[in-house]
């Protein structure tokens, strides 16, 4: 009796909050199917059209920006994994007195506000010819995600039962052999969700993308931001482009929610 | 497990990560410090040389800096407050069983995956637009006065957008934490006659304290440097109403090309972040030790 009343109240609050929280996204998707004339009138009744999607794609540069997003987020994720895997392995399986300090120090580099080093990075990039290049953003994304990647991998490695590794070690398996035949297969879900979180963070990163990239290397964040200028204000097209920009990451995030939580809190919340 | 650690040289495994992070920490920081003591404006190459503490003196006596620091603190603390409270409520609600719970949960957490520039544009144009936005439509329909959000309540609007993006994060983590709550303890408390609120206050809330500290720490990292939402919606205005420290330095650096002044601002931002970080990292280290 009491229980069903509780679940009724929870259901009402839960669904109300779901509708309220999701509404802006729903509205964006809805607007993307309107014509520009219908888009400025907030109404639910309209004749759906795919015109905006066609328009966004025919401005050939949409795919250019999407490709930049893909190359930059995947590239820096791969790079961060290559650098981070050995480090996480060492911290998880051969901890020394200083390992905790080392891990906290790595995390503390994440505390440095990007804006604090904007000026030197801008000048360094300018002098190195890295302004508005994909490689430049890949480097920055890698550096800023590396601490999180190492922490996530570390917390997943901590869960690998030690006897398995001990056995491998007894048989004389070295780092690469252990990695390849034992660790990577066992912790593949963990590595995959680390990679996904890293891709999500890079895909949505705005500060460096907006300040250090332009037409050549700009990812979707920068492309969407260019719509904020008054002359580019076509709501239906803006909504279509936005929908296309967030859809892959939204779906990816939904699928991996459960593991993301573990990763985001570095295993501190189970 | 550490017993055989001498057999393996961890140095080469750690070196690449430690190397690049050291580089990432030291080089830009050293350059920022260096520039902050220089007269350096990219628009006027004739102004050069050692500036001493002039950049800092000018900056610290500039009311704009203090306003932007104040705005930063207002933004961070309001968003933290809103997200933690909403997160706790949602955690309790989504811990109950109700029809369609999993779908509702997916919908609630969706905003976390939306890129900041997109969410800023949706809110600015589709929802908060004074003429054609959804909110003004609803206001007119209800016969209420139409609000021009970014003019009449600029900071409140930015807080709403940023909180919308971060409530899902707090919810995700606190809902997960609820699942590890000891159900038997709850049952026992119920047997002893504990009612809803006292049960929440004495059992649920203490259980959530640790995950809440995790939420606060991670949000702080990101909220101290909110940028895209402000750039896209208000550009720091009207006046300085929504200029936070990030945006203030950005204006100095890339709009006024005052490298020296912007660098001094950067140093101040780093100092501020480190004060927060020292406190947070200590809390987090304590959490770690309880593993």
Q: Give the tens place of pLDDT for each residue, A141-153.
A: 999 899 989 988 8
Q: Does B100 touch chain A (CB under 8 A)?
A: yes
| pLDDT value, residue B6 | 47
- How many degrees, rounded to 5, is the angle at CA A218 between CA A222 and CA A146? 95
More confidently predicted of B59 and A259? B59
Chain B: nearest CA to A58, how far in angstroms?
Answer: 20
Percent of chain A clearing pLDDT 90 (strictly above): 21
d(CA A119, CA B156): 30
Task: Determine whether the interchain pair A146/B17 forms a contact, defined as Cβ–Cβ distance below 8 Å.
Answer: yes
| pLDDT value, residue A1 | 47
d(CA B152, CA B144): 15
* Range in A130-139, A207-216, A254-263, B141-150 the model is least confident about: A254-263
| pLDDT value, residue A264 | 66
Smallest CA–CA distance from A166 into chain B, residue: B1
Smallest CA–CA distance from A20 into chain B, residue: B108
| pLDDT value, residue A46 | 78
A with B: how many residue pairs have Cβ under 8 Å apart? 314
Examine the pLDDT at A50 and tell me if it is beyond 80: yes
Examine the pLDDT at B253 and tell me if it is beyond 90: no
| pLDDT value, residue B163 | 96
Kindly report the average pLDDT of chain A as a whole number. 83
SS3 B44: coil
More confidently predicted of A165 and B97? B97
* Range in A82-86, A133-137, A153-157, A254-258 the model is least confident about: A254-258
SS3 B50: strand
Which two tokens mark A224?
């969407």
Q: In the 3-class helix/strand/coil scheme, how is chain A assigned residue by residue?
A: CHHHHHHHHHHHHHHHHHHHHHHHHHHHHHHHCCCHHHHCCCCCCCCCCCHHHHHHHHCCHHHHHHHHHHHHHHHHHHHHHHHHHHHHHHHHHCCCCCHHHHHHHHHHHHHCCHHHHHHHHHHHHHHCCCCCCHHHHHHHHHHHHHHHHHHHHHHHHCCCCHHHHHHHHHCCCCHHHHHHHHHHHHCHHHHHHHHHHHHHHHHHCCHHHHHHCCCCCCCHHHHHHHHHCHHHCCHHHHHHHHHHHHHHHHHHHHHHHHHHHHHHCCCCCC
d(CA B31, CA A120): 6
For the entire predicted model, the pTM comes to 0.87
B15: Cα separation from own chain's centroid = 31
- List residues bridging with B38 in a β-sheet: B50
Task: Determine whether the interchain pair A17/B90 forms a contact, defined as Cβ–Cβ distance below 8 Å.
Answer: yes
pLDDT band at A265; cut points 50, 70, 90: low
Nearest to B1 by CA among A106, A157, A186: A157
| pLDDT value, residue B8 | 65
More confidently predicted of A215 and B168? B168
- List residues bridging with B50 in a β-sheet: B38
| pLDDT value, residue A230 | 60
Which two tokens mark A70?
């893909």
pLDDT digits (tens, 9 = 90+) for B111-133: 999 999 999 999 988 888 888 88
d(CA B101, CA B95): 9
Q: Report the pLDDT averaged over residues A198-226.
A: 86
Contacts of A25 in chain B (CB under 8 A): 110-111, 114, 122
Q: CB neighbours (10 Å) of residue B291?
A: 8
| pLDDT value, residue B87 | 94
Task: Determine whether the interchain pair A207/B225 forms a contact, defined as Cβ–Cβ distance below 8 Å.
Answer: yes
A88: Cα separation from own chain's centroid = 20
| pLDDT value, residue A269 | 57
| pLDDT value, residue B7 | 57
Task: Determine whether the interchain pair A112/B273 forms a contact, defined as Cβ–Cβ distance below 8 Å.
Answer: yes
- Among A6, A21, A207, the residue with its CB nearest the CB of B227 is A207
Percent of chain B clearing pLDDT 90 (strictly above): 21
Q: Does B102 touch chain A (CB under 8 A)?
A: no
Asked if A219 contacts A203 with a C-beta cutoff of 8 angstroms, the reply is yes
| pLDDT value, residue B119 | 92
Asked if B28 contacts A124 with a C-beta cutoff of 8 angstroms, the reply is yes
- How many degrees, rounded to 5, is the angle at CA B283 between CA B281 and CA B286? 105
- How many degrees, rounded to 5, is the angle at CA B36 between CA B29 and CA A145? 25
In the stretch 47-76 of chain B, residues with CB closer than 8 A to chain A read none
Chain B: nearest CA to A188, how far in angstroms?
Answer: 20
Chain B: nearest CA to A114, how far in angstroms?
Answer: 7
Asked if B76 contacts B220 with a C-beta cutoff of 8 angstroms, the reply is yes
Q: Report the pLDDT averaged over residues A229-238.
A: 72
Chain B: nearest CA to A104, how far in angstroms?
Answer: 7
d(CA B262, CA B19): 27
SS3 B258: strand
- Among A8, A93, A121, the residue with its CB nearest the CB of B28 is A121
Contacts of A235 in chain B (CB under 8 A): 125-126, 132
Asked if B115 contacts A249 with a C-beta cutoff of 8 angstroms, the reply is yes
Task: Determine whether the interchain pair A225/B262 forms a contact, defined as Cβ–Cβ distance below 8 Å.
Answer: no
* Residue to test with chain A: of B55, B119, B126, B209, most A Cβ within 10 A: B126
d(CA B168, CA A22): 11
pLDDT band at A73; cut points 50, 70, 90: very high
Contacts of B224 in chain A (CB under 8 A): 113
Examine the pLDDT at A270 and tell me if it is beyond 60: no
Q: Report the pLDDT averaged over residues B259-263.
A: 85
- List residues bridging with B258 in a β-sheet: B41
Element (H, E) at B67: helix B63-95
Greatest mean pLDDT among A53-57, A135-139, A179-183 = A135-139
Asked if A145 contacts A107 with a C-beta cutoff of 8 angstroms, the reply is no
| pLDDT value, residue B73 | 92
| pLDDT value, residue A157 | 85
Task: Determine whether the interchain pair B117/A252 forms a contact, defined as Cβ–Cβ distance below 8 Å.
Answer: no
Torsion sign across C-alpha atoms B149, B154, B157, B161: positive
Smallest CA–CA distance from B246 into chain A, residue: A115
More confidently predicted of B9 and B19? B19
Asked if A33 contacts A54 with a C-beta cutoff of 8 angstroms, the reply is no
d(CA A195, CA A189): 10
More confidently predicted of A184 and B154? B154
| pLDDT value, residue B2 | 44
d(CA B112, CA B245): 23
Could you tell me the CA-to-CA distances from B250 to B29, B235, B257, B270 in Å, in that order? 17, 11, 9, 14
Nearest to A91 by CA among A147, A163, A173: A147
Examine the pLDDT at B254 and tell me if it is beyond 80: no
More confidently predicted of B103 and B196? B103
Task: Determine whether the interchain pair A265/B173 forms a contact, defined as Cβ–Cβ distance below 8 Å.
Answer: yes
pLDDT digits (tens, 9 = 90+) for B132-169: 888 988 888 888 888 888 888 899 999 999 999 999 99
Q: Report the pLDDT averaged over residues A101-114.
A: 82
| pLDDT value, residue A76 | 95
Examine the pLDDT at A115 and tell me if it is beyond 60: yes
- Among A94, A258, A269, the residue with its CB nearest the CB of B211 is A269
| pLDDT value, residue B77 | 94
pLDDT digits (tens, 9 = 90+) for B18-59: 999 998 888 888 888 888 888 877 777 777 777 777 788 888
Asked if B171 contacts B87 with a C-beta cutoff of 8 angstroms, the reply is yes
Could you tell me the CA-to-CA distances from B214 to A134, B82, B128, B266 in Å, in that order? 33, 16, 32, 26
């Amino acid at each position: 009796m009491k229980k069903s009343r509780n679940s009724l109240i929870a259901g009402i609050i839960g669904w109300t909050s779901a509708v309220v929280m999701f509404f802006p996204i729903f509205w964006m998707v809805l607007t993307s199917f309107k014509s520009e004339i219908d888009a400025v009138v907030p109404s639910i009744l309209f004749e759906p059209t795919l015109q905006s999607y066609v328009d966004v794609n025919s401005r050939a540069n949409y795919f250019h920006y999407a490709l930049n997003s893909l190359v930059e987020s995947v590239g820096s994720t791969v790079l961060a994994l290559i650098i981070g895997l050995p480090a996480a392995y060492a911290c998880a399986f051969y901890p020394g007195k200083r390992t905790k300090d080392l891990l906290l120090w790595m995390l503390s580099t994440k505390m440095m506000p990007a804006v604090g080093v904007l000026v030197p990075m801008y000048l360094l990039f300018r002098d190195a010819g890295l302004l508005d290049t994909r490689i430049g953003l890949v480097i920055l994304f890698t550096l800023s995600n590396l601490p999180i990647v190492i922490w996530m991998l570390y917390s997943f490695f901590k869960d690998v039962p030690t006897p398995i590794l001990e056995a491998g070690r007894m048989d004389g398996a070295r780092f690469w052999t252990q990695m390849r035949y034992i660790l990577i297969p066992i912790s593949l879900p963990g590595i995959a969700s680390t990679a996904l979180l890293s891709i999500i963070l890079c895909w949505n990163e705005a500060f460096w993308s907006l300040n250090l990239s332009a037409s050549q290397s700009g990812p979707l964040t920068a492309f969407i931001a260019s719509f904020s200028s008054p002359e580019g204000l076509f709501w239906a097209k803006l909504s279509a482009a936005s929908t296309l920009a967030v859809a892959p990451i939204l779906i990816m995030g939904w699928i991996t929610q459960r593991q993301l939580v573990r990763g985001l809190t570095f295993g501190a919340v189970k | 497990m550490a017993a055989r650690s001498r057999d393996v040289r961890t140095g080469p495994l750690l070196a690449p990560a430690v190397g690049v992070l050291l580089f990432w920490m030291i080089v830009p920081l050293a350059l920022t410090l260096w520039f902050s003591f220089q007269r350096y404006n990219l628009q006027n190459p004739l102004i050069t040389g050692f500036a001493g503490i002039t950049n800092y003196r000018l900056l610290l006596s500039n009311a704009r800096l203090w306003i932007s620091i104040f705005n930063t603190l207002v933004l961070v603390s309001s968003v933290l407050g809103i997200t933690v409270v909403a997160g706790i409520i949602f955690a309790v609600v989504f811990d109950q069983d109700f029809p369609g719970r999993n779908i509702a949960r997916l919908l609630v957490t969706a905003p976390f995956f939306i890129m900041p520039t997109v969410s800023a544009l949706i809110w600015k144009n589709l929802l908060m637009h004074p003429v054609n936005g959804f909110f003004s439509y609803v206001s007119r329909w209800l016969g209420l006065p139409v609000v021009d959000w970014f003019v009449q309540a600029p900071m409140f609007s930015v807080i709403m957008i940023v909180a919308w993006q971060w409530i899902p994060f707090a919810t995700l983590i606190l809902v997960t934490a609820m699942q590890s709550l000891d159900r038997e303890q709850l049952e026992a408390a119920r047997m002893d006659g504990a009612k809803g609120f006292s049960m929440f206050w004495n059992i649920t809330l203490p259980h959530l304290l640790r995950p809440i500290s995790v939420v606060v720490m991670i949000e702080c990292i990101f909220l101290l440097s909110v940028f895209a939402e402000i750039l896209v919606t208000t550009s720091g205005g009207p006046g300085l109403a929504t200029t936070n420290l990030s945006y203030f330095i950005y204006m100095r650096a890339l709009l006024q090309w005052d490298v020296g002044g912007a660098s001094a601002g950067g140093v101040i931002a780093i100092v501020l972040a480190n004060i927060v970080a020292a406190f947070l990292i200590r809390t987090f280290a304590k959490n770690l030790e309880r593993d």
